Structure 1
């Protein structure tokens, strides 16, 4: 048995393990077979990889957009990150793609002039929605999953806050500021 933080450290070293663990906790609860059908608005929790692959193939054939696996990588991102219907259910492969998506979202926020925890907050928004001003509720949920009170003051005067069940600590990144994502990446998670 491996913890999500250990899995993240091994498979998504571009993201601090505690940060990726918070994303995973909120997205799938750590279930590598979890799926959310964005088109149909339904969660699927298969009990085997075989069953998961069958369900996903059926949904994709029907033209559905599906968040897949431990990091809930959007099926629209499969080609860019080299995922297949089967490999998307591999926890290491999936969390690696999720880490790359979050890293790209971080640099999208940095490119927009955001810094520190504010940039990370908006990177979480982009992980979910594709835009750094996409879904503040989602970003708050990630902070809550990490046990962190999210209080972010933005240049626009907004203040987001949520309560936490654990002592406060900063969510960390491991990214250098000299890398920039491709502008045409779909960052939806």
Structure 2
């Protein structure tokens, strides 16, 4: 794995999200490996790419096979790479990847606030959304607690406020995609109730709001080998408990 000095680039590129929080998220997602590739479902690469060129080649081959996966420092899902019309070269660029990941996270924070979560609970719910695709999905509680624990925040498992208790729960999604947004969404940077966020920078204002669903890898039967142009994979569970 390449040596990576995370602090300066995260402060510069993860716009609008506190560097402590996003550093912890990147550690959880990729362990600071800019070439990391994580597969959907019960799958894992037998060997991670060791270079930028190998990472791009592996991603191209995986997409040709219809496999769902996430890439780079903040593990941007293929559905978002497609939605934002990114090239794989852009997706593996450290700064571009961090900007994209922070924008996706901020979108989930806005969704959490709209659903009635407040303060640290909204951050917790946003982390659940970043991991599972739903701010309500308890399968990602362990993931959120691990990230917040490294920055000294340990909230109880959150729930929406009474004001929003009648809102229907968002169904869990099989892949991690950015939530749809509109101009009426609350801005978590305008009057944040937690210290984990900074000034907003609309780095991806041009991005479309539509999500692109990507199917999980089929999981029937025994572990399955998948040819990826020099990077065979073996199926495994990828959800962080």
TM range (shorter): 0.7 to 0.9
The partner residue of 2:103 within 100, 104, 124 is 100
- CA gap of 1:114–1:60, structure 2 versus 1, over 3 A, is same
- CA gap of 1:21–1:38, structure 2 versus 1, over 3 A, is same
- CA gap of 1:147–1:45, structure 2 versus 1, over 3 A, is farther
Q: 1:173: which partner in 2?
A: 197
- CA gap of 1:173–1:182, structure 2 versus 1, over 3 A, is farther
CA shift, 1:7, in A, is: 1.1
CA shift, 1:140, in A, is: 1.5
Within 1, Cα distance between the matches of 2:153 and 2:81?
A: 31
CA shift, 1:105, in A, is: 0.5
The partner residue of 2:118 within 115, 122, 127 is 115
Within 2, Cα distance between the matches of 1:23 and 1:56?
A: 22
CA shift, 1:79, in A, is: 2.7
Kindly report which structure 2 residues correspond to 1:20-169, keeping only aligned pairs within 5 A, or say none: 20-39=22-41, 41-43=43-45, 44-134=47-137, 135-155=140-160
Q: 1:167: which partner in 2?
A: none
CA shift, 1:133, in A, is: 1.1
Q: 1:161: which partner in 2?
A: none
Count of matched residue positions in the alignment of Structure 1 and Structure 2: 172
- CA gap of 1:153–1:61, structure 2 versus 1, over 3 A, is closer
Within 1, Cα distance between the matches of 2:82 and 2:91?
A: 11
Within 2, Cα distance between the matches of 1:79 and 1:172?
A: 29
Within 2, Cα distance between the matches of 1:126 and 1:26?
A: 15
Deviates more, 1:133-142 or 1:143-152: 143-152
Deviates more, 1:34-43 or 1:51-60: 34-43
Kept in 1: contact 2:121–2:155 (CA 8 A): no
> Which TM-score applies when normalising by structure 1?
0.79
Q: Larger relative CO (CA 8 A, sep 6+): 1 or 2? A: 2
- CA gap of 1:82–1:18, structure 2 versus 1, over 3 A, is farther
Deviates more, 1:74-83 or 1:145-154: 145-154
Q: Which runs of 5+ in 1 are unaligned?
A: 157-169
Kept in 2: contact 1:6–1:17 (CA 8 A): no
CA shift, 1:81, in A, is: 3.0
Kept in 1: contact 2:83–2:210 (CA 8 A): no
> Which TM-score applies when normalising by structure 2?
0.63
